[in-house]
Amino acid sequence: MPEHVHLLIREPKRAILAKALQALKISVSVQQRERPFWQARYYDFNVYTDHKFR
């Protein structure tokens, strides 16, 4: 994975995480038209301790 992105986000209170990520992916894709930026699926991981954050 030479080109990848890590995001640390807080789950939206009034929305579903998948919908929030969909909106983010659409926004980036519109700006990044020359080549695909996102893979088809994503992996999420809950960071619930300082140890998991590092």
Binned at pLDDT 50, 70 and 90, residue 25 comes out as: confident
pLDDT for 49 beyond 80: no
Binned at pLDDT 50, 70 and 90, residue 2 comes out as: low
Binned at pLDDT 50, 70 and 90, residue 21 comes out as: confident
Average pLDDT, the chain: 77
3-state per-residue secondary structure call for the chain: CCCCCCCCCCCCCCCCHHHHHHHHHHHHHHHCCCCCCCCCCCCCCCCCCHHHHC
- Residue 13's pLDDT is what? 80
